Each structure stands twice: as structure tokens, then as C-alpha cells.
Amino acid sequence: MNQTSYSHKKVAPIIASVVGALMVAFLWVLVTAEPNTADDADSPLLGQPAPSVISTTVDDAEFVLANRKGSWVIFNFFNSTCVPCIAEHPELVAFSKRELQATNPAEIYTVINDDNDASVRAFFSKNGGDWQKVRDTDGAISVSFGVAKVPETWVIDPNGYVRLRIAGMLTPGLLDDQLAQLKTQFGS
Amino acid sequence: MKTKSVQNKWSWLLLVLSAVALLAFGSLRDSGPRTQADRIDAITKVLACPTCSGESVYVSRASGAESIRAEVARQIADGQRSDDEIIAYIEARFGSRVLLVPRSTGLDSLIWVLPVFVLVCAVGTLGFAFRRWKVVGSDSISDEDTQLVERALREDR
């Protein structure tokens, strides 16, 4: 009887310690884990060469992203019925005008997400935005950039590397600030 | 008595081995060549719709899921990538949140390893406890107990 209780006394703290250590390990994993939300602006593509994009514009001109090397490229994934896309549009138009004053202005491209040419043309003729609109047949460009929902804005540097992803609506001045930082960091 | 116990042990062993063999056969058997549609279904079933909650790309009709399904179909039609490579391509774009089945490497492997570890520990602990109870049960008659029984028997007489 005494021997049994002695064994219990010996084994119980070991089991309790193991369980305790496991609990602490789980807690550590939870505390240190990266948040994993759909709106996270992080992407595995950041710092990587941009995916190959070969498509056409709504004006039936060919668009090849690789040919844009030497310029900062901004891709704005857009749908004419998406409310945040409509809401951010004036900011994008204002940004494009400001950017024209820069020494090496960034090129803006709208990537049409799940929308048709006629709706996009109608939207831009009404709301302005004198840049090219690239077709994204079957969402191939969206998938290659990991775009889940619009609007999303991506910045690609003159060497063809993905430098920034802004998930969601652009706020006033956000793109200017981010682009200025990137130009300082990676050269304009 | 001893022969019966040995027979029991063999029966259990046979049962376990049969179960393992049948499970292995069931999971590894070749069900013949797969069509492109089979491959699209198999891949989209393990990819999460990026804009839905808990739905696979196979089930979802959301625009993002449709785009992924179209990309999977395109890559299968190209014939350049294996199923795993196509899944890795999608993961490299959307991140690991697009995987419905966790990877078996890195921290994610804990999801696979821990249940097995806990099961082995639980079975081991139970086995150890049963064995100890049996041993303690047969050897635990102390001198005090014997004297108590003898005294009771004497009093009965």
C-alpha cells in the first residue's frame, strides 16, 4: 500500500509536468502565430518576381508585363459593380494626376476582375481614369497574384519584383506614401 | 487456462493485422487512370475558397473560387504540372490559408503527429495502469489482512 502511494507520488508530477509543458507549448504557438485573415496585406509574392502577365486591353492592344520593366507598375484589380472599387476610384484618378508630375511616373493599369468590357468602358468614361484596362480572362491574372476579392492594388518595381499589396480600398494619400517609401528603398 | 489466454492473444493479433491489411489495401488500391475532370475535382476539393468560410473551391460558386477552378483546369489541360505542383502553385499565390488539408511538414505536421502521439500515450498509459492494478491486486494481501481474516474465521467457529 505504501509502495503504491509512493509510485503515485512519483508518477503524478511527471505526468502533470508533461501535460503542463504541452499546454505551454500550445499557448506559445498561439501567441506567436501570424494572424491569418483574408484581408491580410501580406503575400507570398512580396519580394518575388512578378507573375508573367500576357493579355489584352479593352482597346484590344497587347499587354505584356515583362515589357514594362524600367517603370514602376501599379495593378489595380477592379470590378465596376464593387462598392469599394467605386469609392476608391476618385483617389486613384487623383493619384494618377499627381504621379504625372514625378520624374519617373508609375504606370497604372486596371485589371478587370469578373467584369465585361462594356461595363468597364462605361464606368471609366463616366468617372475618369485615362490608363489602360487589362482583361483578365477566367481570372488567370487574379489567381497568379492571389487576389481573392477586389479591390486590390499591387506595386511592381522597375526590375519586375512585387513590392506591395494593398488589400481593400485605397485611402487618400496611402498609395503616394507607400510608393515614395518604396522608391527611396529600391530606387526610382 | 493458459492455452486459452494464448489463443486469445493470437486472435487479437490476427484481428489487428487483418484490419491494418484491409485499411492499407483500401487506401492504396489503384482505381484506374484518372480523367482530367477527376483531377480537377480532386485538387479543388483540397483547396479552400479564399473568400468563403470553410467551403472548398469544389463546392463554392464565388468568383474567387471560380477563378481558381479555371486555373486548375488550365494547368491540367497544359499537362505540365502534377496535382501536388498545381496545389503548390496556388499556395504560393494565396498562402497556406488556401489549403484545406494541412501540410505534413513544419509546424503544420503537429496536426498529424499529435493525435497519434496522444493515442499511443493513452493506450500505453492504460496498458501500464491495467498491468499494475493486476499486479497490485494479486500481491497486496498484507500480514495485517491475513491476521484479520484468520481472526474472523476463528470467531465464526
* Closest residue of chain A to B122, computed from CA coordinates: A15
Condensed to tens digits (0 to 9), the pLDDT of residues A123-156 reads 999 999 999 999 998 899 999 999 988 999 999 9
Half-sphere exposure of A111 (CA within 13 A, CB side): 30
pTM of the predicted model as reported, rounded to 2 decimal places = 0.70
Contact (CB, 8 A) for A54 and A68: no
- Nearest by CB to B107, from A4, A29, A140: name it: A29
Contact (CB, 8 A) for A38 and B51: yes
Contact residues on chain A for B70, CB-CB shorter than 8 A:
138-140, 143
Half-sphere exposure of A115 (CA within 13 A, CB side): 26
pLDDT computed for residue A117 by the predictor: 95
Q: Is the per-residue pLDDT at B42 higher than 70?
A: yes
Cβ separation A140–B68 shorter than 8 A: no
Residue from A37, A143, A145, A165 to probe the interface with B (highest B Cβ count within 10 Å): A143
Cβ separation A139–B71 shorter than 8 A: yes
Question: Has the ipTM of the complex gone over 0.95?
Answer: no
CA distance to partner chain A, nearest, from residue B11 (Å): 33
Judged by a CB distance cut-off of 8 A, whether residue B74 touches chain A is yes
CA B7, CA B14: separation in Å to the nearest integer? 10
Report helix, strand or coil for A36.
coil
- Whether residue A90 has a cis bond before it, omega within 30° of 0: no
Contact residues on chain B for A142, CB-CB shorter than 8 A:
64, 67
- Nearest by CB to A143, from B67, B95, B96: name it: B67
In chain B, pLDDT over 90 holds for what percent of residues?
45
Q: Is the per-residue pLDDT at A1 higher than 50?
A: no
Q: Is the per-residue pLDDT at A10 higher than 80?
A: no
The residue to which cell 483540397 is assigned: B46
Report helix, strand or coil for A43.
coil
In chain B, residues 112-151 whose CB comes closer than 8 Å to chain A: 132, 136, 140, 142
Cβ separation B140–A1 shorter than 8 A: yes
Contact (CB, 8 A) for A121 and A40: no
Condensed to tens digits (0 to 9), the pLDDT of residues A50-104 reads 999 999 999 999 999 999 999 999 999 999 999 999 999 999 999 999 998 888 8
Contact residues on chain A for B100, CB-CB shorter than 8 A:
none
Contact (CB, 8 A) for B53 and A41: no
In chain A, residues 147-186 whose CB comes closer than 8 Å to chain B: 147-149
Grid cell at residue A68? 514594362
CA distance to partner chain A, nearest, from residue B3 (Å): 31
Best CA proximity match to A93, nearest among A108, A104, A105, A112: A108
First to last CA, chain B: 35
Cβ separation A138–B70 shorter than 8 A: yes
